[in-house]
Amino acid sequence: MLLNIKNLNVAIDGKEILKGLNLGVNKGEVHAIMGPNGTGKSTLAAAITGREGYEITQGEILYDGEVINDMDPDERANKGIFLSFQYPVEIPGVSMTNFMRTAINAQREFSGQPPIPAGEFLKKMEEKKKLVDIHSKLTKRSVNEGFSGGEKKKNEIFQMAMLEPKLAILDETDSGLDIDALKVVAKGVNELRSEDNAFIVITHYQRLLEYIVPDFVHVIYDGQIVKSGGKGLALELEEKGYDWIIDKIEA
């Protein structure tokens, strides 16, 4: 199993957000995580990627068979965990090119490879830019600076394509996207899907899942996964909302 989360409890400032969450993800699978606002979806992404301030009070996150609870975010990234941010950060003064080269070289150094030759790097940039329909001028600019909402999200998928992660978490990548941008993003993700990697797609809406078709759909409520099913569950949620699940739990 690529990712195995067991009884995960996570607190922010002492407040429990995740309360005994279990999730298993195998290579080649796409898992969708759905649920109402404030139930722990983004907290799950933060805990897997090692964001500061998210304290694991109980339970384990196993990645490739290794407990990563206390691992630094950069080490997790270099082992192949990627997060497409809900709100990508603008970093004025750091060019996209410099940023990507630094990231790729960090990854290569981690796996004992020499830095990427300039020609190879530029070729890779060109190739991956096409995948998500990014204009050349964007990569010449500072990271996310002055990018539109859609450009920022495309840029996340572009970075994912460059870094070729084993486990990619898309945190509300569909929010703020029009249908055309959504299709571009989904196309990018679908082209990257393979038997060797896995995706966790966090979303509110079924819409994205029409384009990135999941193998499993999970509903988070109050810090736990309360219902899991196939792709049909997403359609059911779209039709009936979350109340029927919540009512059942609380009853």
CA 60/CA 57 separation, integer angstroms: 9
Instruction: Rank residues 138 and 245 by Cβ distance to other proteins and give the closer one.
Output: 138
Nearest residue to 157 via CA among 238, 138, 43, 140: 138
CB of 99 to other proteins, least distance (A): 7
Question: Within 149-208, which residues bind other proteins (CB under 8 A)?
Answer: 159, 163
Bridge partners, residue 34, by sequence: 219
**93 binds other proteins per the rule CB under 8 A:** yes
Minimal distance in Å, beta carbon 89 to other proteins? 4
Angle formed by the axes of helices 149-163 and 118-131, nearest 10°: 130
Interacting residue with other proteins among 39, 42, 43, 107 (CB under 8 A): 107
Contact present, 239 and 214 (Cβ < 8 Å): no
- List 20, 28, 36, 73, residue binding other proteins (CB under 8 A): 73
| Strand locations in the chain (E) | 3-12, 15-25, 30-34, 54-63, 66-67, 81-84, 91-95, 142-143, 167-171, 198-202, 216-221, 224-229
- Please report whether residue 77 would count as binding other proteins according to CB under 8 A: yes
Assess 63 for contact with other proteins (CB under 8 A): no
Does residue 18 sit in helix, strand or coil? strand
Q: Which of 38, 92, 146, 230 binds other proteins (CB under 8 A)?
A: 92
- The distance of closest approach from Cβ of residue 77 to other proteins in the complex, given in angstroms and rounded to an integer, is 4
Binding site for other proteins (CB under 8 A): 49, 51-52, 72-74, 77-78, 82-83, 85, 88-89, 91-94, 98-99, 102-103, 106-107, 110, 142, 159, 163
